[in-house]
Amino acid sequence: MTAREVDVLVAGARCAGATLANFLARKGVKTLVVEKDTMPSDQPMSTHFIGTYGMSVLDELGIGDKVRAFSSPVPCVFNGVEETVARIDFPKGTEGTCPRRTELDMLLVEEARAAGAEVQLSTKLVDVVKDGERVVGGVVEHDGVREEIRCKVLVGADGRHSKVAELVGANEYKGYETPRGGVWAYWPRPAFFADDPRYRGGAAIIHVGDEYRLMFPTNRDQLVIGIIFPIEKADEWSGKHREVYLDRVRSWSFTKPLTKDAEPLGKPVIFVKGRFFFRRAAGPGWALVGDAGLFKDPAPGLGITDAFRDARALAVAIAKGTDQALVQYWRERDVASLELFEFAKNLGTPGYNNPLTRALFEEIRKHEHLQARIRGVHERTRSPFAVFKTSEVVRASLREILRGRFGVVRPFLDAGKNGAAVAKELAEWRELARGTTRDPAVM
């Protein structure tokens, strides 16, 4: 078996891996990326959405306009429950976008190569090389031929079923099983979509009953429409998911006009199991980035943006050249991600559609300052837990109670308890990031 040396070996060449390689190559770091799949190829387990902050990272790399060339900006997002739906408008130039992964991932690979990184497709990482506890390389395989690659840092950017995480023993320390399954498909985008006041060219995540339903405009001529249901209802979909799915999207008032004269572009995709988690993301000679180290509920569409964010941060840590810098990257990632993880968990919980949520969306629908705060979440200048002040939630709840709507009481108490628990955990994680407490994961 032959052997060669690089500074960094990255397993996975999609959103996190290719972006990391781009940043590293620009810093003069000799980087090899291996990707088990051929490209272009699809990544069906994706919401496609790149938010405001994610687009700013691509603009930093000079890629943003290239993405916009094949995927139109998303000028607004509709969020709500039942008929209480708020529209969040984005100023021109700050919009997100929803590219198909076939085009996006291939572009990221091409840009990584242009920056000076080496990318080998149809090549998988099959083993790691260690010197004691330190990872010093990996073994990759292409067309049945194995090659040993020596490196200073091995990075797993190979998704939630990461081979790197398995081989280095990256433990999970916060996780839960998905409470939902889902079915989605691509549709042709009607000509009226951009100008119709019901849509305005935007995306939507709306809770209806115990389901939530999503619609994203992708590329320049398609829509992706999904129905996400409680896992307890999986039997209702078993063996007939296409029929149930078509009935839902053609009867729902929001998507009925979009689908009534059309058929899906290909077979609907279905998932009924999964797990969301944090994993240890750094150790001697190795690191994880993207879904390999942190996988959130896809409900709010945060995954791609956070992959770009963390790729940039990891590139900075790798350039520093120390194990401590890698650990610092990991702990700072946790601090930056905990509230987003919990927000995604809340949004994906079947009980999210409740009287308090409806009352709060009514407030968002009416008040521009609340809409501006939600834009701040997309810009990463505001926590999703800081969209409402406590006093505002109390006032909204009291108004409902005075109207005889006592259903707000239980979700109000639950929200307060959950918020306090998240704040407590975030404080503990900040202490770990500062290095002021002993880190149980690296002892």
The pLDDT of residue 51: 96
Show the domains of the chain with their CATH numbers. Answer: 2-176+276-344 (3.50.50.60), 179-271 (3.30.9.100), 349-434 (no CATH)
**pTM of the entire predicted model:** 0.96
In this structure, which long-range contacts are made by residues 139-145, counting pairs with CB atoms below 8 Å and at least 24 apart in sequence?
139/1, 140/9, 140/34
Asked if residue 77 lies in contact with residue 98, where contact means CB atoms within 8 angstroms, the answer is no
pLDDT, tens digit (0-9, with 9 covering 90-100), for 22-55: 999 999 999 999 999 999 988 877 879 999 999 9
Is residue 383 exposed (0-12), middle (13-18) or buried (19+ Cβ within 10 Å)? middle
3-class DSSP state of 194: coil
Q: From CA 351, how far away is CA 60, in angstroms rounded?
A: 39
Question: Which residue blocks in 207-354 are alpha helix, DSSP H?
Answer: 234-237, 241-251, 256-259, 303-320, 323-348
Distances (CA, A) of 195 to 86, 227, 235, 306: 18, 24, 39, 31
The C-alpha atoms of residue 432 and residue 443 are separated, in whole angstroms, by 12
Cβ burial, residue 438 (10 Å; 0-12/13-18/19+): exposed
Is 393 in a helix, a strand, or coil? Answer: helix
DSSP annotation of 132 reads T
Distance CA 174, CA 5 (A): 35
pLDDT for the residue 46: 81
pLDDT in tens, 65-109: 999 999 999 999 999 999 999 999 999 999 999 999 999 999 999
Query: CB of 184 within 8 A of CB of 223?
Result: no
pLDDT of residue 443: 37
Give the residue ranges of the chain where pLDDT is below 50. Answer: 443
